Amino acid sequence: MIADISQSRAPRRQLAFSLVEVVLALGVIAVGVIAILGVFPTALQTGHSAQDETRAPEIAQTIYGSLAAQAPSQFSNVRFRLSDGVTLFPTPPSPPIDLTAPPPPATVQLYADNDGKLIQDATTAAYRIFIFTNNSPPGFPAPPPAYANQVTVRVAWPANAPAANQSYRDYVRIISKY
């Protein structure tokens, strides 16, 4: 004999979640999503900071490469090429860098964009570059300025922020005329 299941008198249990279970699951998911979204600002700031910390030595190396390349022939008149490869920087009224200048140190300002390329426009710059010449650390004699010069390149960011709100790194190298 075949029994008719549809007319069974045993109560049928529904195969579904209750409203309480759904609300609890949504609450757990909401807490997790909020925690993940809370980490995003910190992650973005850390990533941006890492980019700046990486870009600063690249910019300083570009500056030192230009200085070292021009030092044998233009030790008292070093100029920088902008990223367009045509315009020389510094342009008037900024003087060229004189590596034979006696103390106090001369300061020259350059700018770089977010890719680390030298530019003239300070309003679109991401980095401000200061070049200090003819300086030496305390306790060390200065090199003879006619033949070599200690050059400090300071890369600061953001370029247009007040000095008190900028981060910066200093890089020091002796540039020789020979």
Decide which of 166 and 88 is more confident.
166
Tell the burial category of 63 from Cβ atoms under 10 Å away from its Cβ (0-12, 13-18, 19+): buried
Q: Is residue 13 part of a domain?
A: no
Q: Is residue 7 one of the residues assigned to a domain?
A: no
| Residue among 110, 135, 129, 106 nearest 121 (CA) | 110
Lowest pLDDT segment from 48-62, 99-113, 135-149, 162-176: 135-149
Residue 3's pLDDT band, with cuts at 50, 70 and 90, is low
pLDDT for residue 93? 45
Asked whether residue 24 carries a pLDDT value surpassing 90, the answer given is yes
pLDDT at 65 over 80: yes
State what percent of residues in the chain have pLDDT above 70. 74
Q: How far is CA 7 from CA 4, 12, 151, in A?
A: 6, 11, 96
The domain total for the chain is 1
**Does 89 score more than 60 pLDDT?**
no
For tokens 């008149």, what's the residue? 77
Q: Is residue 133 part of a domain?
A: yes
Residue 100, in any domain of the structure: yes
- pLDDT bin (cut points 50, 70, 90) of residue 27 is very high
Q: What is the overall mean pLDDT for the chain?
A: 79
**Using CA atoms, how far apart are residues 155 and 58, in angstroms rounded to an integer?**
10
Q: How many CA atoms lie within 13 A of 167 on its CB side?
A: 10
Structural domain contains residue 5:
no
Structure-token pair, residue 20: 């309480």
The single-letter DSSP state of residue 74 is: H
Host domain of residue 170: 19-176
